Amino acid sequence: MSKTSALAAAHAELDALSARGRAFLGVRYAILGGAMSWLSERHLVAATSNCGAFGVIATGSLSPDELRDEIKGTFARTDKPFGVNVIIMHPELNELLQVCIDEGVGHVVLAGGMPPRAATDQLKEAGVKIIAFAPTLPVAKRLMRQGVDAFIIEGMEAGGHTGPVATSVLCQEILPHLRDVPVFVGGGIGRGDAIALYMEMGAAGCQIGTRFVCASESIAHENFKKVIYSAKARDAQLSVQLDPDFPVIPVRALANKATEQFFAAQRDAIARYRDGELDQKEAQLVIERFWAGSLRRAVIDGDVEHGSLMAGQSVGMVEREQPVAEIIEELMGQAAETLAGRIGRLSTS
């Protein structure tokens, strides 16, 4: 088989492997944009969707009115499907979900823990498709009974809030046994080779975050982008939990002075919890808000010393600023070339 024929066959196979994910999202490419606070806003989200992938707004610490404006601003820039990522710990969770419903958002990603039944019921009754994170197979099966339509498997290589298990291990544990709904894989994915691999393992598509941080359409400060360009995989480190009795979702970011400040924020929140000033959920929200504010200082204000430099371990694969369309074209081209190589080898064996 010629190289041209192998590549054509590879593109057809890639379409077949991603058909379920593409149909579920309503897009050309089964690539979800990772929800990055302050960055996954109308400009980057619309650009992602306009290129044939699936943009996702990050609510982060947005109020319901701010989210409404962001959704309207995104609809003004694209007529393609996009979703909204909502953190279930948000004190105005129900109001945020109602905004998504009222504004006609078709997909909502519930993140940050086990979605409450009231939240999934609220979305299901409105006909909104629900995507949740699956840290384990039993959790996924439980959430399927609760009405969740699709899942994201996110490994510890991911930037921002992440779990304790590597992407490759999670895929082996979950993909062979979760065939009834689409499953998207994220965490440490910086090249199309990995996309092809995970799709061959049974993934419906992939979630990409860090590769889009330095997109031309990203509003990230130039200082932040420059730090990302020069970073390597091992620079993206996990935050440390200080108290085993006070679980905190680990955050992966490039080490700087903000890392030290996070220890102080944890100590303060834990002390207030021990003194009875805060309950556990309130204390966790205090810590969550630390990251939201610290991240804004870096990505928006350009303070790369005292702001949080959230990034996944794929950061070493971000080498320059590129338009979103070019990034997606590069990723899908690499995925097709990987499959073409295998097809070519099989045809000559």
Q: Domain check: are 236 and 175 in the same one?
A: no
What's the token pair of residue 337?
């070339």
pLDDT mean across residues, the chain: 93
Cα–Cα distance between 290 and 295 in angstroms, integer?
8
Domain carrying residue 292:
224-313
Is 346 a member of any domain?
Answer: no
Q: Domain check: are 277 and 171 in the same one?
A: no
pLDDT digit string, tens, across residues 111-132: 988 999 999 999 999 999 999 9
**Residues 31, 208: contact at Cβ < 8 Å?**
yes
Q: Domain check: are 59 and 207 in the same one?
A: yes
What pLDDT score was predicted for residue 248? Answer: 66
Q: Look-up: residue for tokens 């190289």?
A: 3
Is 348 a member of any domain?
Answer: no
Residue with the bigger pLDDT between 61 and 154: it is 154
What pLDDT score was predicted for residue 348? Answer: 62
Residue with the bigger pLDDT between 75 and 6: it is 75
Average pLDDT value for residue range 91-110: 97
What pLDDT score was predicted for residue 246? Answer: 64
Q: Domain check: are 61 and 172 in the same one?
A: yes
Residue with the bigger pLDDT between 345 and 308: it is 308
Q: Domain check: are 45 and 147 in the same one?
A: yes
Q: Domain check: are 13 and 117 in the same one?
A: yes
Is 349 a member of any domain?
Answer: no
Lowest mean pLDDT segment, chosen from 10-24, 253-267, 282-296, 320-334: 282-296
pLDDT digit string, tens, across residues 146-199: 999 999 999 999 999 888 899 999 999 999 999 999 999 999 999 999 999 999
Confidence of residue 215 (pLDDT cuts 50, 70, 90): very high
Q: Domain check: are 266 and 117 in the same one?
A: no
Cα–Cα distance between 308 and 304 in angstroms, integer?
7
Is 214 a member of any domain?
Answer: yes
Is 108 a member of any domain?
Answer: yes
Cα–Cα distance between 169 and 151 in angstroms, integer?
16
Total Cβ atoms within 10 A of residue 136:
14
Q: Domain check: are 118 and 150 in the same one?
A: yes
What pLDDT score was predicted for residue 346? Answer: 67
Q: Domain check: are 72 and 43 in the same one?
A: yes
Confidence of residue 256 (pLDDT cuts 50, 70, 90): very high
What pLDDT score was predicted for residue 349? Answer: 56
Q: Domain check: are 211 and 278 in the same one?
A: no
Q: Which residues pair with 58 in a beta bridge?
A: 85
pLDDT digit string, tens, across residues 30-57: 999 999 999 999 999 999 999 999 999 9
Domain count along the chain: 2
- One-letter amino acid identity for 214? C
What pLDDT score was predicted for residue 100? Answer: 98
Is 347 a member of any domain?
Answer: no
Percent of the chain with pLDDT over 70: 97
Q: Domain check: are 250 and 104 in the same one?
A: no
pLDDT at 338 exceeding the cut of 80: yes
Q: Domain check: are 332 and 295 in the same one?
A: no
CATH number of the structural domain spanning residue 117: 3.20.20.70
